[in-house]
Amino acid sequence: SEFKNEFYLIVASDFPLQGYTSFWNDCISSGLRGCILIELALRGRIELEKAGMRRKTLLNRKVVVTRNEQATGDVLLDEALKHIRETTQPETVHSWIEYLSGESWNPLKLRYQLRNVRERLAKNLVEKGVLTTEKQNFLVFDMTTHPLTDNLIKTKLVKKVQDAVLSRWAGEASRMDRRILALLFLAHASDVLENAFSPLSDDDYEVAMKRVRDLLDLDLEAEAARPNANELMLDVDIVSLLN
């Protein structure tokens, strides 16, 4: 399943409003944009420029488009890809997350903002039959929420995230599923890791959080130097730690 959809399901809260992503949590916006860049990298549309003789760090390397010029068929991904293609000067992952979130101080970059990403992701998941749409009363507001049609989908995803740092703990990042690793980083940066770990027993919670802290302390530059590493994904992980 698509990476950004998995992240959306992790961040959509179960309580107090099922299927509601907090509009007051700005970190989620950056997390969703990070997911879009990761998915474009997974689909072979973008990558980081070569490190070169001077061995630039991940944070300083620019995002470049690959030779694969085909559209992805996903509206959000293709919109972001169009912006990346249109820039005359390549930009870093950090800059792109800011531009796509509309957080740039440069007025010329505001046109790169992806608008209504949460609503569009939710609509996409409604169309796929994963979510449904409801009006719920919250305090004095009527709010549109998107509860799951089948709770099992989220339960399985959350279990996969929990298992990655518990029963399936690989002992080191290079042996972990890179999608799960990125989900852990982005969920932590977006302040929603609690959502995934809250059902755990106290002992499991403690072990899981300790392992997450170990992962957050990793030398991701060294991880990127390993064969078959997805450098752009690891760059998004690094940027998530800057929030």
* SS3 of residue 84 by DSSP: helix
Low-confidence stretches of the chain (pLDDT beneath 70) = 1, 13-26, 138-140, 243
Cα distance between residue 199 and residue 141, in whole Å: 29
- Cβ contacts of 33 within 8 Å, gap of 6 or more: 80, 96, 97, 100, 101, 114, 117
Give the start-to-end residue ranges of the domains of the chain: 3-242
Q: What is the pLDDT of residue 21?
A: 56
Which of the listed CATH numbers 2.40.160.40, 3.40.1360.10, 3.30.70.920, 1.10.3630.10 matches domain 3-242? 1.10.3630.10
**Residue range 98-119, pLDDT digits in tens:** 999 998 888 889 999 999 898 8
Residue closest to 11 by CA, chosen among 184, 203, 206: 184
Cα 76 to Cα 78: distance, rounded to the nearest angstrom: 6
Q: Supply the pTM of this predicted model.
A: 0.89
Model pLDDT, residue 81: 98
**pLDDT at residue 144 in the model:** 75
Residue with tokens 């990298």: 41
